[in-house]
Amino acid sequence: MRRKALPRGSCSVGELPRVSVLIEVKDEYEVLRRTLEIPLKVDYPLDRLKIYVGG
């Protein structure tokens, strides 16, 4: 079941949930670099987004 996107301007930034992105890698610099680019391209406020990298 796909969720419908909220129309732009339908809520304020403070009402958006905080989102965490967990990335697990080991000795894969190129994969990590490409993977980190993806969440940063998302149209989502960076102050509501946390990216964790472990390995």
> For 30, which DSSP code?
H
**CB 42 within 8 Å of CB 12:** no
Cα 24 from chain centre: 14
Report residue 18's pLDDT band, with 50, 70 and 90 as the boundaries. Answer: very high
pLDDT tens digits, one per residue of 30-55: 888 888 888 878 888 888 889 898 87
Going by pLDDT thresholds of 50, 70 and 90, the confidence category of residue 8 is low
- Mapping DSSP to helix (H, G, I), strand (E, B) and coil, where does residue 53 land? strand
Q: With 70 as the cut, is the pLDDT of residue 9 above it?
A: no
Distance CA 20, CA 18 (A): 7
- Per-residue pLDDT band for 17 (boundaries 50, 70, 90) equals very high
